[in-house]
Structure 1
């Protein structure tokens, strides 16, 4: 085939390669593109196409070399920038991703859609500082696109830059009511604890709530925001009214599969994985903070991450995917374990830290304790547990990203998750007592110094002050606790459910423990 193409113009070679790709003939595609590269060695289109094929076949080094060659010739080639960034992301080289994207967008202005793609890529890679900086670069250059301002507001909030975040979010609401769909009301109310109802946010959100033709998503966002604001000032009756409406809206749209959850717990309780276990890594320790959301996981992770030997990666999404590949995939079990360990380690360790303790605070990793210990026998788990009614109320008061905590809008569902998670954790604690330490939320907030010291000792962390001061403005907190976790630890939320018992009788159906 390559002989027949000799002397043909470049578009003909590329068209032939595209036809072979559609047929699924990767070997022939590679042969055609290799020959095309010999004919047109400076062609960015040929090099981009060839990089895609060789990466699919496992030749990541050659793919990277081809893409960097394109960018050496044309630093503003957006296609090469995104393709190289995705390659690096798959390898867990997030610092390199940030460098490539930053270089590709620092010289020329691009349309907002392209910039948002770049921001989303950086955000997905956990490079929130760089993502926020890219938003701010475009805003400083004159961009008035509300989507960029909304993204900037969200990222700046996660970075603790609350004053600038408010400015960005107010811009969105002043220029595009679509911001109500983007959870900007929740963003505004999450920036502080209100002292009284005279704050202008109260009137602003109530005014928006009166707008005609609001979507359910916009209405729920406003209601959750108003519920949070009224809770801050101790108006629990009004807070309950708003929160009940918000939860009803979201619950009707999600319909969390309670039976599937119960089956998944039973499956974990009865599952026995093969006895195969990989060798523990010698130079680093995987650390997992697990438990239900709103049980102290974020506060504990933020404090531990103040230790210079601990690097927090946030809530990584990888373990459910890898668990499925290990348990149901083809090939030898040990080989599947090894592939999963390599993939996860790359995403956890990345390329920007030499810390010895690498922290993943995805709460729902409690579903995979047995698999994690097969992958990393030296892994350690901190199991956060909170008074059930307080935990239930706190979940019900939050609006979570769609598809993450869809059980949190109905107390029967919340109760099922609390019950199932505790059954499973009792099982893991019996099987792996040396690998898991329970951290009671009530102890964490009542005597944080003693608890953090004992946790650090259990982990064998070198001595370090984990308590003094607040989180610096450069730390990243992406959960619903992003404001609270930056404040001094306090016991304000202990037995909080009692403030709502008269208005939310469903709480009394949850065991008082």
Structure 2
């Protein structure tokens, strides 16, 4: 939902460094073309450099300069050729390797870019900008820990490189290393108190550790430094939404749209906090934006989600379904999702735990008690996981930590398929408990609501015996319809945007849960969303009995609990339970018949 804005240290994409030697033009000739480049006279600079290259074809500096000119003109193919020529004529030219990396990154050839950055720093070990560029490329490839290392290396060489420090903070925040992220942004702002992006990013990090007033103040400071900063108003609105402060969230979204009237994402988010009436002036305006030919697919997607909500509010169910379908088509296209990776993962997990007795024979987890007993809340999105965690977090003995990536990252750090080993399980245990023990909370229980942890239940049972696993079950068609009509900001729900993919994924999820029940009988507590809405007190009491805790009235009055809920269910958990929420799909039944049949629903 939220955006992190990444600071850039310099405007020009390439570095020009003058050098003289045999078979090179004079310094005056070089300075004349550099002057044209710096003055923005790119066509003249290109022509002058080309003329000099004809006279001095072995002068690597000239190829480097023309590459920089081509890069500024947006001709990245030409730039890459020029930088390669500079390297061919001088294989020990670190700036040319760095510049080639920049051009290749622009062309989407990230791995080749990284290889050239590495060559640059092998020649010039104190080349901070090449380390910075390499960190950015590694980050974009999803190699997050490698990116962190390279940002830190940049800062060891150039401690005042605020671009690297800001980007490091953004990445640490994404990795849920929130305190470290706050430290980086604070250091940036100490050096540059007018860095609006850093205030915005600091706000995002502070909200993740529950420092509510400081986070809101940081967003406010971002807009004070940069009054037209629509994105900071948007992020403030998103946090107010998480906090259940509906009217204030709506006001922040409205301010973002005042500053940036075509802010498609803000229109989508605004739909979560307001109910549209047929004479709302925003409706024709959103439609006019969608009719434009010059908007991006990403904006078109957000606008379709927005109009889906508009049509739903107006009772126009056919139109709503069409808009949601159009939005999902564009989202799936952007993610380039195919079910192959999911199929492979489900297969690998089952194969690895097929002979669960072998695993039990090779590994026994240490017997020491948990400092904080983990409660894994798992299930499909939109099944009631946020509601369940909010009920639990309303108990005096339970801290609600939200969606943690820790366990999945621990598994992925040591296992990629094949036999599960004792060493892997011990490493997973140590990494997860180290993260839990770092959390400065007084409650003896701590929830982890990463719903995708259902995939790792075998690892949880083996590495963390005694941990609690609460599986939320909701009627399949209700859950799937709710998934289909909502936008997920992360990349981990690619199956959600196509009804066929959704039906297949849901069936695989159910098969895997059945598999875990067979392999680890009694380890999973199944908690029915529908039963909860029918008999709240009894079901809540039974859930707490499973945890060994007494019922507290605060768990019944969960809607009064003040805490941030950073999911699309934020507003739902602020209301009392009501019956019938699992019947909303019936308004769209005619459009969902293939999915209903795939799910085996009546």
TM bracket (short chain): 0.7 to 0.9
**1:348 Cα offset (Å):** 3.5
8 A contact 2:365–2:465 mirrored in 1: yes
> Where does residue 398 of structure 1 map in the other structure?
486
Superposition map of 1:72-471 within 5 A: 94=178, 98=182, 101=185, 105=189, 109-122=193-206, 130-140=214-224, 143-177=227-261, 179-180=263-264, 183-192=265-274, 194=275, 196-272=277-353, 274-275=359-360, 276-279=363-366, 281-328=369-416, 333-465=421-553, 466-468=555-557, 470-471=559-560
- Larger CA deviation: 160-169 vs 368-377: 160-169
**1:105 Cα offset (Å):** 4.4
Name the CA distance, whole Å, in 1 between partners of 2:340 and 2:163: 45
CA 1:323 to 1:314, structure 2 compared with 1: closer, same or farther past 3 Å? Answer: same
8 A contact 2:241–2:249 mirrored in 1: yes
8 A contact 2:470–2:526 mirrored in 1: yes
**1:407 Cα offset (Å):** 0.7
Choose the corresponding residue for 1:482, options 546, 555, 570: 570
8 A contact 1:89–1:125 mirrored in 2: no
**1:189 Cα offset (Å):** 0.5
Name the CA distance, whole Å, in 2 between partners of 1:420 and 1:487: 32
8 A contact 2:196–2:226 mirrored in 1: no
**1:264 Cα offset (Å):** 1.9
| Counterpart secondary structure, 2:222 | helix
| Counterpart secondary structure, 1:439 | strand
**1:95 Cα offset (Å):** 5.4
**1:125 Cα offset (Å):** 6.0
**1:361 Cα offset (Å):** 0.6
CA offsets per residue over residues 8-45 of structure 1, 9 Å max, x none?
xxxxxxxxxxx99945999xxxxxxxxxxxxxxxxxxx
CA 1:392 to 1:454, structure 2 compared with 1: closer, same or farther past 3 Å? Answer: same
Which segments of 5 or more consecutive residues in structure 1 lack a partner in the other structure? Answer: 1-18, 27-54
8 A contact 1:381–1:435 mirrored in 2: yes
8 A contact 1:91–1:347 mirrored in 2: no
| Counterpart secondary structure, 1:449 | helix
**1:129 Cα offset (Å):** 5.8
CA 1:21 to 1:348, structure 2 compared with 1: closer, same or farther past 3 Å? Answer: farther
8 A contact 1:313–1:358 mirrored in 2: yes
| Counterpart secondary structure, 1:136 | helix
CA 1:177 to 1:346, structure 2 compared with 1: closer, same or farther past 3 Å? Answer: farther
Name the CA distance, whole Å, in 2 between partners of 1:203 and 1:185: 13
- Structure exhibiting the larger radius of gyration computed from Cα positions: 2
8 A contact 2:185–2:198 mirrored in 1: no
Which segments of 5 or more consecutive residues in structure 2 lack a partner in the other structure? Answer: 1-117, 126-147
CA 1:355 to 1:426, structure 2 compared with 1: closer, same or farther past 3 Å? Answer: same
**1:419 Cα offset (Å):** 0.4
Give me the CA root mean square deviation. 4.0
CA 1:174 to 1:22, structure 2 compared with 1: closer, same or farther past 3 Å? Answer: same
| Counterpart secondary structure, 1:412 | helix
**1:266 Cα offset (Å):** 2.2
**Number of equivalenced pairs:** 455
Name the CA distance, whole Å, in 2 between partners of 1:222 and 1:92: 30
CA 1:24 to 1:87, structure 2 compared with 1: closer, same or farther past 3 Å? Answer: farther
CA offsets per residue over residues 28-81 of structure 1, 9 Å max, x none?
xxxxxxxxxxxxxxxxxxxxxxxxxxx98xxx9xx9xx99xxx9xxxx996998
CA 1:504 to 1:336, structure 2 compared with 1: closer, same or farther past 3 Å? Answer: closer
**1:96 Cα offset (Å):** 7.3
8 A contact 2:460–2:467 mirrored in 1: yes
**1:140 Cα offset (Å):** 4.6
**1:315 Cα offset (Å):** 1.2
CA 1:110 to 1:359, structure 2 compared with 1: closer, same or farther past 3 Å? Answer: same
Q: Which structure would you say has the larger RCO, counting Cα contacts within 8 Å and 6 or more residues apart?
A: 1
| Counterpart secondary structure, 1:144 | coil
| Counterpart secondary structure, 1:500 | helix
**1:92 Cα offset (Å):** 7.7
8 A contact 2:196–2:225 mirrored in 1: no
Name the CA distance, whole Å, in 2 between partners of 1:360 and 1:262: 25
Name the CA distance, whole Å, in 2 between partners of 1:420 and 1:227: 28
Name the CA distance, whole Å, in 2 between partners of 1:93 and 1:214: 35
8 A contact 2:243–2:564 mirrored in 1: yes
**1:270 Cα offset (Å):** 2.2
| Counterpart secondary structure, 1:488 | coil
**1:176 Cα offset (Å):** 2.1
CA 1:106 to 1:351, structure 2 compared with 1: closer, same or farther past 3 Å? Answer: farther
Name the CA distance, whole Å, in 1 between partners of 2:364 and 2:163: 42
| Counterpart secondary structure, 1:494 | helix
CA 1:197 to 1:301, structure 2 compared with 1: closer, same or farther past 3 Å? Answer: farther
Name the CA distance, whole Å, in 2 between partners of 1:25 and 1:285: 50
**1:126 Cα offset (Å):** 6.9
8 A contact 2:390–2:573 mirrored in 1: yes
Q: TM-score, normalised by structure 2?
A: 0.66
| Counterpart secondary structure, 2:556 | coil
CA 1:494 to 1:284, structure 2 compared with 1: closer, same or farther past 3 Å? Answer: same
